[in-house]
Structure 1
């Protein structure tokens, strides 16, 4: 019990020292520079490693019973399909327990060509005696170019509407402090912190794609990004809700730096506890899960860490900097 009290006492001592000697928002330029640099590097990593699944490009996914030698089979399959009139195909293999999954997500001309490729793959598997008959094919998914285009447009709209909804919520939710923090500033904070919160997970996912060619951008990744947007805004709302309360309690002449720093200090422990408890669940999912569950938990886990840091160092600092540029700040 004494050890626990000692730990808590040391914890609060650190916060008191932060409050007295260290101002987060007065170092706004530093945090924003770090955030912009991290965002740019992350998108470079993501773009150069990007591999879209057949859900977005159109293509074919075939699962059959049996295992094959990856490099040798990929080369033979690509050559066999080239002889059937489908050259320069990118073949991806995923070996699971007793089964093999073939994924081909080249952009094909039309739905008819996709169907012809699907038939060619089935025929090749039988002709090469990889499978004894077509009954060994467990699953065969065919996605035409039109469906891939629809999925791409839908994912883009979902991300855009998600960000827009968060900005609108912040503007109306914190209308009582509109005379102190303009709606445009709140919208900018949401947009900037949300972009940061999804950029670094995207960069981390890009590194995974570079290391593992079977990892691709699919609907699970989009769901993870939308989850991060929703989770990240929660941390920002907690801090700005406390800022609103502290501003209402203050007199007419508000010392913005003091109010912002005090609000961050007051909400730090709550945000940290929420993030750690969420991370514990995601770590368990990553350790005991496989495939899409691992990729989802990894992406969201990175997003949780970034969202926490962004809410502490970037959100209030961005608002403080923008206020400083638009009005005289004490």
Structure 2
């Protein structure tokens, strides 16, 4: 039987090899923030004839005013176009290009959106992350023990840094949906970790004489491994289908979920439990 715990330093190194480049990228180039965070223009138009949404996206992309997923259909022949902040000349150029390539239309609104909402969203997201982590720490401490709570929160931090780091490295645009993805990933990841910790607690009650903590945790991981793999695969299958068939507007959200769910499965198995083992060994060594 392969021993996960005895090879835990390898899992730590793998995690660092993913996280460290992401942190370096965050320092050097940051995140590619969308207009939800930086501000921009919101243009709403009504077409006089039936137009495919991809045609509108092509016009916006050809002008270099924004990503294609920033164009959405909001009603019968009505389209919402979110762009970077445009000058009056650029706005006129966009309207002219739409009319020239797609026919007559009615401009319903063209207004600038400030980054205030983005700052507020960022603040609330960070606050939600801190509160959720604190509540999880309290809950796990109450149900299991404090060290397992610390290990679980560190695993959640691992998943968050992996997703943010990859988005920074590849400069994938970040919008409000990305924040929702991060919070969803945290909720998903902690669930798998709790299942493993619950099995460890059960096995501790039936611990055999002379059985080491590393061996006990390794057995617990093997007992929950099939469930962990099956659960993550069912979610991944759905996310892959959504990524290719769900349209451009949700691609960044689905991509973040794919990375986060995979990282969450990894951290629950290869990080949370090994970290707890190391914390227990340090405690025993101190005694």
Corresponding position of 2:164: 202
Equivalents in 2 of 1:288, 1:45: separation in Å?
A: 30
Which of 11, 25, 37 is residue 56 of structure 1 equivalent to?
37
- The verdict on how the C-alpha distance between 1:191 and 1:68 changes in structure 2, with shifts beyond 3 A counting, is same
**Deviation for aligned residue 1:227:** 0.9
**Per the alignment, in what secondary structure is the counterpart of residue 68 of structure 2?**
strand
Corresponding position of 2:258: 301
Q: Is 2:46 the partner of 1:31?
A: no
Equivalents in 2 of 1:69, 1:311: separation in Å?
A: 42
Q: Is 2:136 the partner of 1:166?
A: yes
TM (norm. structure 1) is: 0.70
- The verdict on how the C-alpha distance between 1:286 and 1:138 changes in structure 2, with shifts beyond 3 A counting, is farther
Q: Is 2:65 the partner of 1:103?
A: no
Q: Is 2:127 the partner of 1:193?
A: no
- The verdict on how the C-alpha distance between 1:241 and 1:120 changes in structure 2, with shifts beyond 3 A counting, is same
Deviates more, 1:28-37 or 1:305-314: 28-37
- The verdict on how the C-alpha distance between 1:122 and 1:135 changes in structure 2, with shifts beyond 3 A counting, is farther
Corresponding position of 2:50: none
TM (norm. structure 2) is: 0.79
**Per the alignment, in what secondary structure is the counterpart of residue 43 of structure 2?**
strand
What is the CA deviation profile of residues 260-289 of structure 1, one whole-angstrom value per residue up to 9, with x for unaligned ones?
011001000111111111111111111211
Equivalents in 1 of 2:108, 2:252: separation in Å?
A: 24
**Deviation for aligned residue 1:311:** 1.3
Corresponding position of 2:229: 272
- The verdict on how the C-alpha distance between 1:244 and 1:298 changes in structure 2, with shifts beyond 3 A counting, is same
Check conservation: 2:155, 2:268, Cα contact below 8 A: yes
Deviates more, 1:26-35 or 1:264-273: 26-35
Corresponding position of 2:52: none
**Deviation for aligned residue 1:317:** 0.7
Equivalents in 2 of 1:226, 1:137: separation in Å?
A: 37
Corresponding position of 1:143: 113
- The verdict on how the C-alpha distance between 1:28 and 1:68 changes in structure 2, with shifts beyond 3 A counting, is closer
Which of 204, 208, 212 is residue 255 of structure 1 equivalent to?
212
Unaligned ranges ≥5, structure 1: 1-17, 75-90, 106-116, 210-214
Equivalents in 1 of 2:227, 2:111: separation in Å?
A: 46
- The verdict on how the C-alpha distance between 1:138 and 1:199 changes in structure 2, with shifts beyond 3 A counting, is farther
**Deviation for aligned residue 1:135:** 5.3
**Deviation for aligned residue 1:162:** 2.3
What is the CA deviation profile of residues 34-59 of structure 1, one whole-angstrom value per residue up to 9, with x for unaligned ones?
22332112233455251212222233
Corresponding position of 1:114: none
Equivalents in 2 of 1:153, 1:219: separation in Å?
A: 12
Unaligned ranges ≥5, structure 2: 48-55
RMSD: 3.2
**Per the alignment, in what secondary structure is the counterpart of residue 37 of structure 1?**
helix
Runs of 4+ in structure 1 over 4 Å off: 63-67, 95-100, 117-126, 132-135, 138-141, 251-254
Equivalents in 1 of 2:236, 2:153: separation in Å?
A: 24
Matches within 5 A, 1:58-137: 58-64=39-45, 66=56, 68=59, 70=61, 73-74=63-64, 91-94=65-68, 101-104=81-84, 122-123=91-92, 125=94, 128=96, 130-131=98-99, 136-137=106-107
